[in-house]
A = this chain, B = another copy of it.
């Protein structure tokens, strides 16, 4: 039994982690912490979580967790994570961080969009937790930077095609769409029901903080500098993410080569589903699962490749991938706790 704690459990990612660990056959939940809801029960925080009345949020105390847990999930805002992680590592506790603090290889890239990094050694040591692509390094990691939701949806289809030299690294575009839970549970006009329902539009055009995270991984995959054009949009649904990605194929590449490459990389991956020709991903197909669906269409005349990926932003895009990372780190079945048939309609 893997003993876990969830730090910052009162947000939507924290909620998903609590549910996933509660359903997990080989992990137990030893503690949940929340700054704003200290002393409150989980049912008080989330009325839908009836049955969790005795799960009480405490304050964060790395020493108190020492010896009690094997791994801690940090579901905290950027900056707070890098203050907490070192103490946990010092206690011999593994860390899976869901903020941006440990996702970058290049501290300068992080600092350009966030703030000065205060745990540079750990940043250097940390592994980017894109499970299917970095599995071997994850296996031995003490600290994981769990990928952002947008990066996951964009990197899954693009990395193999760049590595296999089937598409040009230049001119890539991702037109991405996210459900509202991606904005978190904190209050803002942008998540007010009357402002979101029956609406749709782009936001943060030209300056979303996920862009450098994506570019760092794409650049490594391509072996040359990649600068993706990224436009996120908000969809009036609770959960789900779709990225429609436009790329130019390299000379002579055909549909079959694209399909072969994706199959080669993902055929045996339990959570990656390459859709048959003429089928395309949809938020409703992956909602409530840890899957990433990928479909594509090649415009023969123009050489334009249209890739579409879909994930549940809270699962494969956050809590689900975090648990998958835990499964890899502790050498148990990677699908444990993640392989039910989805419940929503």
Judging by beta carbons under 8 Å apart, are A342 and B19 in contact?
yes
Judging by beta carbons under 8 Å apart, are B198 and A288 in contact?
no
Q: Which B residues are CB-close (under 8 A) to A177?
A: 177, 200, 233
Q: Which B residues are CB-close (under 8 A) to A242?
A: 200-202, 233
A281 within 8 A of B: yes
Q: What's the nearest-Cβ distance from chain B to residue A291, in Å? A: 8
| 7 CB < 8 A contacts A-B | A47-B282, A50-B273, A187-B188, A200-B284, A201-B242, A205-B308, A344-B344
A86 within 8 A of B: no
A112 within 8 A of B: no
Q: Which B residues are CB-close (under 8 A) to A50?
A: 273, 275, 285, 291, 293
Judging by beta carbons under 8 Å apart, are B19 and A238 in contact?
no
Which of A144-152, A155-163, A299-307, A326-334 forms part of the interface with chain B?
A: A299-307
Name A's B-contacting residues (CB within 8 A). 12, 15-16, 19, 22-23, 47-48, 50-51, 171, 173, 175, 177, 179-181, 185, 187-189, 191-203, 205-206, 227, 229, 231, 233, 235-240, 242, 244, 246, 273, 275, 279-285, 287-288, 291, 293, 297, 299, 301-302, 304, 306, 308, 310, 314, 340-345
Neighbour of A343 across the interface among B171, B173, B342, CB < 8 A: B342
Neighbour of A314 across the interface among B179, B287, B340, B345, CB < 8 A: B345
Judging by beta carbons under 8 Å apart, are A342 and B244 in contact?
no
Judging by beta carbons under 8 Å apart, are B187 and A285 in contact?
no
